[in-house]
Structure 1
Amino acid sequence: MNFNFMKGEAQMVPLTENEECSIYQIKNETGEGIVICYQVLPGVSVSYNDFHMESCDSTFSTDRNLFCIDHCREGRLEYASGRGTYSYVEAGDLKMDRRISHQGHFEFPLAHYHGLMITFDLEQAVEALKNEMRNFPVNLPLLQKKFCEGRHPMVIHNAPAIEHIFSELYMVPEKIRIPYFKIKIFELLLYLDVLEIPLNHEEKPYFYKGHVEKIKAMQRLMTGNLEKHYTQEELSLRFDIPLTPMKNCFKNVYGSPINTYMRVFRMNQAAVLLRNQRGLSITDIAGKLGYDSPSKFSLAFKTVMGRTPLDYRKNFGPNGMM
């Protein structure tokens, strides 16, 4: 992602740079991230984005003719999709744009985002691709026009070949990295060239700012008071949002239904307590997380974590490693 950066005093700081690769660190009060950028061809780069933060502010602006392709591997990204509305990118999604509306506030609802970005600067990339592979049939400016006619990003999800193409880009041996990137970029461009956009293609759903703010306040309430289990009807009344829109909005912001999200959140908190608070019994931990029955807590923990709380604790050594 092109971020040029950040809230408060935070900024994008170069850590190391050579002819092939540049590494940048990003920090603000919500966390930090690493961007590793490889120059593959003139005007063509591949960047790995690993963010462990809740939000960031971008002041990125460009007069370059760009075509940017983002793949989300893990996490979620919230971005403005219009005046007072938000949309979301989730794991497996492909987001394409020209970076002409990339200023403003971005949030990571799950406090992390992992993915990669392929950037084409058309002024250089068109000629570089032509020199690299003669008679390559894809017209890059036409491809940009196909997916980036609007001001806001186009997001493609659940396309069958996307995961195949991108999964192999996350584990590339160092000695073949640049030539392998070239092969995969040509493969991706060929795939996008023949990909048909349905006439009734709909953008990912968007949600109004007021609803999103209520959903985030709801999440803060629930995660800040884990001893209490709120019913969805209670939450709907408390935050003055109808039940069905509340369910839909929560799932799009946080990636899973309310009850599923809270069960996973509780069990992750339980795992921390099991590792770090060995003086607490299983019953004590169950109570802290709103379970009046240790057996129900153990069943929920095993469902999420794959083992019972007791087995989980036993398998962690004194240094906290499995």
Structure 2
Amino acid sequence: MKFQEEKEEEQMVLLTETKECSIFQMKNDTGEGIMTMYQVFPGVSISYNDYHMENCESTYETSRNLFCIDHCREGRLEYAYTKGAFSYFEAGDLKIDRRIAHQGHFEFPLAHYHGLTVTFDMDQAESSLKEEIKDFPVKLSVLQKKFCNGRHPFVIHNAPTIEHIFSELYMVPKKILIPYFKIKIFEMLLYLDVLELPKNLQEKPYFYKNQVEKIKAMRKLMTENLQRHYTQEELSKCFAIPLTPMKNCFKNVYGSPINTYMRVYRMNRAAVLLKNQSHMSITDIAGKVGYDSPSKFSTAFKAVIGKSPLEYRKIFSPNGIK
């Protein structure tokens, strides 16, 4: 089965193609991404996007009339809002566009992204929908006009109804895959059709390139020096960025406040050491990630990972616990 969708030719490679789906891989020196695409009916496809990489370059261009709906399940995507400014698409968000501005450099600030894309090729999809349900009340052309007036994506942030519609798409039994996709697509279109847009739409905050670069340098400094705990006042002074904008920008880039992000980062790093460095004591590992007190480390580790360091290590090295 051939899919008529243009791909990022320089990086996206077809790994396998069956009657049911096509699987593509994107790879660079920061990691890889896998896209699994299903043709639901003519002109309509669903793609599952799983990226474990820090960034990618997109050369995607299309001359076709598209209507695309992206849902983010986990992770974050940084995209250009305007020249020299960035915005962020995060877990629970819905992004709708025509793929007009889908070229350039994209970042995954958490080094992973999981979600799905529903793509409508307008030349085929409208007639396909009519064939599936004769009197279906929603017109794709009307939805496209409603959400895609501008060049940039329209983003719906963390609406509870979105989660209800999309969460079920990530655990569909293989036996009913395509029929279930069809039902969920019609449900999604009905939801978008009745969704009332506020009169004064407010885009999520965007941040200028120099701000984002400072925040990324700040995160690099902290993650490369885990034994030191920087105060936010120190960071603000060091990177010449006022405290409140610094906090706001960091949370938007990385999805959580500075202290929360670093606590989770430290515990994840400790988990790797507990698993792979059996010769290191828990006290030594605590020190490596910036904790002088093993008891405080143990409390923080359990809060983030769900097990004490000793319990976690036992899973991987039952005969050599230290």
Q: TM-score range by the shorter chain?
A: over 0.9
Q: Does 1:165 align with 2:165?
A: yes
Percent sequence identity over aligned pairs: 75
Change (3 A) 1:130 1:3: closer
Deviations along 1:121-170, one digit per CA (max 9) or x if unpaired, are: 10000000011100100010010110110100011012221111101101
Partner of 1:5: 8
Match of residue 313 from structure 1? 313
Contact 1:57-1:105 within 8 A present in 2 as well: yes
Which residue number corresponds to residue 221 of structure 2? 221
Aligned ranges 1:14-25 → 2 under 5 Å: 14-25=14-25
List per-residue Cα deviations over 1:75-112 (Å, max 9, x = no partner).
00000011111000110000000000001000000000
The answer to whether structure 1 residue 234 and structure 2 residue 234 are counterparts is: yes
The equivalent residue for 2:176 is: 176
Q: CA deviation at 1:292?
A: 1.2
Structure 1 segment 114-193 matched on structure 2, within 5 A = 114-193=114-193
State the 4+ residue runs in structure 1 displaced beyond 4 angstroms: none
One-letter amino acid of the structure 1 residue matched with residue 20 of structure 2: E
- Counterpart of 2:86, as a letter, is Y
Whether the aligned pair in 2 keeps the contact of 1:3 and 1:59 (CA below 8 Å) is no
In the alignment, the residues of structure 2 paired with residue 227 and residue 158 of structure 1 have an alpha-carbon distance, to the nearest angstrom, of: 35
Letter in 1 for 2:39: Q
Deviation at 1:222, TM superposition (A): 0.5
* Aligned residue identity for 1:260: T
Q: Distance in 1 between matches of 2:153 and 2:234?
A: 36
C-alpha displacement at 1:315, in angstroms?
A: 2.4
Letter in 2 for 1:111: A
1:269 and 2:272 aligned: no
Q: For the residues of structure 2 that align with 1:307 and 1:51, how far apart are their CA atoms?
A: 27
Check conservation: 1:3, 1:58, Cα contact below 8 A: no
Which of 237-246 and 292-301 deviates more? 292-301
Q: Which string of whole-angstrom CA distances, capped at 9 and with x for unpartnered residues, describes residues 259-318 of structure 1?
A: 000000000000011111111111111111111111111111111111211111112247
CA–CA separation in structure 1 for the residues paired with 2:36 and 2:216: 31
Change (3 A) 1:239 1:305: same
2: distance between equivalents of 1:231 and 1:11?
41
Return 67-76 or 170-179, whichever deviates more.
170-179
**Distance across 2 between alignment mates of 1:152 and 1:318:** 53
Partner Cα distance (2:210, 2:56) in 1:
20
Change (3 A) 1:211 1:70: same
Q: Partner of 2:72 in structure 1?
A: 72
Residue type at the aligned position of 1:5: E
TM-aligned CA distance change 1:241 to 1:3, over 3 Å = farther
Range 153-162 or range 231-240, more displaced: 153-162
Instruction: Report the Cα distance in structure 2 between the residues aligned to 1:70 and 1:206, rounded to whole angstroms.
Output: 19
1:32-57 C-alpha deviation (Å, 9 max, x unpaired) = 01100000111100000000000000
For 1:211 and 1:239, locate their aligned partners in 2 and report how far apart those are by CA, in whole Å.
10
Quick check: 304-313 or 87-96, which moved more? 304-313
Q: 1:289 to 1:163 in 2, by over 3 A?
A: same
Which range is displaced more, 87-96 or 18-27? Answer: 18-27
Q: Distance in 2 between matches of 1:23 and 1:155?
A: 27
Secondary structure at the residue paired with 2:295? helix
- Residue of structure 2 in register with 1:35 after alignment: 35
Alignment gaps of 5+ in structure 2: none
State the one-letter code of the partner of 1:275.
Answer: K
CA distance in 2, matches of 1:18, 1:304: 41
Q: Quote how far apart the aligned CAs of 1:174 are.
A: 1.2
**TM-score, structure 1 length as denominator?**
0.95
Partners of 2:16 and 2:318 lie apart in 1 by: 35
Distance 1:123 1:264 in 2: 47
What are the equivalent positions in structure 2 for 1:73-88 lying under 5 Å apart? Answer: 73-88=73-88
Q: How many residues align?
A: 315
State the distance in 2 between where 1:83 and 1:27 align. 26
CA distance in 1, matches of 2:179, 2:293: 57
Please report the RMSD computed on the Cα atoms of aligned residues, expressed in angstroms: 1.4
- Indicate how the Cα distance of structure 1 residues 3 and 314 shifts in structure 2: closer, same or farther if over 3 A, else same: farther
1:51 and 2:54 equivalent? no
Task: Note the residue ranges of structure 1 that are not aligned, 5 or more in a row.
Answer: none
AA at the equivalent of 1:27: K
3-state SS in 1 of match to 2:197: coil
Q: Structure 2 length normalisation: TM-score? A: 0.95
